[in-house]
Amino acid sequence: MPNRFPTRRAFTTLALTAVLAVASFGALAQPKLVELLNVSYDPTRELYVAFNAAFIKHWKAKTGQDVSIKQSHGGSGKQARGIIDGLDADVATLALAGDTDALHANGGWIPKDWQKRLPHNSSPYTSTIVLVVRQGNPKGIKDWDDLIKPGISVITPNPKTSGGARWNYLAAWEFAKRKFGGDAQAKDFIAKLYANVPVLDTGARGSSITFAQRGQGDVFISWENEAYLLEKEFGSKVDVVYPSLSILAEPAVTVVDKNVDKKGTRAVATAYLEYLYTDEGQDIAGKNFYRPISEKFQAKYVKQLPKIKLFSIDEAFGGWAKAARDHFADGGSFDQIYLKK
């Protein structure tokens, strides 16, 4: 009489088939790993190390999908040029909107109105420019006009290649214009300041190394967040001097449309930038000495990021396009004062 029940071997085969089917379905159902490349400027390294870890955890919990995020850092202008020349960035988190505008002007990598896509003109955090001096401030530096005194060695990057250096340059220019009476006086002031600069590094991180690791210079014109990281990263004992007037630096962020559409990463890249505006994103910005745009986190970090007198690029220079043309294009004010050295 035939056995109506499966043999042990048949049962084992059926069970194994079922397990393999479930495993196969699980593999098919598992979302594919997404890889993003964030092309950023020099002083955001620590910020995005922390933020990337938070976003990867958030995205996995929300969607079940794994994300791998790679970083590229350098002078902001150089980084923009890298994207234009084919660096496969999903997102650009550069130092100034003018560098990001170049992605539209040179190849249409992003739309002209890219800054309207995210809140606060696509700037999820702000910063400013400060003066970093040796511990105890042995040269007694208190404001911008101390930087043109004889014998003061000033460290700042090259504004031709570094977005941070452009903020530095314009902050000093506007201070001098207001204090001494006009653009002619400001130009003379800037010429004297750069006469005190022994070396122009290509980016803010290079200048940090020159000042903190190599021990060159009496004062380093720096991003606020970079100033507070010098001691932590290089063990250099420094003091931070807030000048009487500085510039409101608004680093802006964008997806790189041509690349995300080619790679199929638009949804994740957009979510990545949007997460900068969440409570966790704003808290990470504040912890890394960037100024949150959220009032809640501005209040939380007000002791380490004090309120100071700031002006905007639009009110003082008519926006980045005009500032770049007047000061940093070939033959602009920087060439006029620096090529004479």
The H or E element containing residue 92 is: strand 91-93
Residue 14 pLDDT more than 70? Answer: no
Residue 23 pLDDT more than 70? Answer: no
Mean pLDDT of 165-178: 97
Residue 328 pLDDT more than 60? Answer: yes
Domain(s) labelled CATH 3.40.190.10 in the chain stretch across 34-126+250-300, 129-248+309-338
Gap between the Cα atoms of 185 and 194, Å rounded: 14
Span 146-165, pLDDT tens digits: 999 999 999 999 998 888 89
CATH number for domain 34-126+250-300, candidates 3.40.50.300, 3.30.530.20, 3.40.190.10, 3.20.20.70 = 3.40.190.10
Helix (H, G, I), strand (E, B) or coil at 130: strand
User: What is 11-61 written as a DSSP string?
Assistant: HHHHHHHHHHHHHHHHHHHSPPPEEEEEEE-GGGHHHHHHHHHHHHHHHHH
CATH superfamily membership of 129-248+309-338? Periplasmic binding protein-like II (3.40.190.10)
Gap between the Cα atoms of 186 and 104, Å rounded: 32
Q: What percent of the chain has pLDDT over 70?
A: 90
pLDDT of 340 reads 62
Residue type, 40: S
**What is the dihedral angle through the alpha carbons of 125, 128, 131, 133, rounded to the nearest 10 degrees?**
-10
Indicate the burial class of 258 (C-beta count within 10 angstroms; 0-12, 13-18, 19 or more).
Answer: middle
Handedness of CA 326, 332, 333, 334 (dihedral sign): positive
Gap between the Cα atoms of 274 and 260, Å rounded: 15
Span 86-124, pLDDT tens digits: 999 999 999 989 899 999 999 999 999 999 999 999 999
Closest CA to 190 of 39, 88, 338, 310: 338
Span 205-260, pLDDT tens digits: 889 899 998 999 999 999 898 888 887 777 768 999 999 999 999 999 999 999 99
pLDDT band at 5 (very low <50, low <70, confident <90, very high): very low
Lowest mean pLDDT among 12-21, 50-59, 138-147: 12-21
Helix (H, G, I), strand (E, B) or coil at 118: coil
Q: What is the average pLDDT score of the chain?
A: 90
pLDDT of 339 reads 76
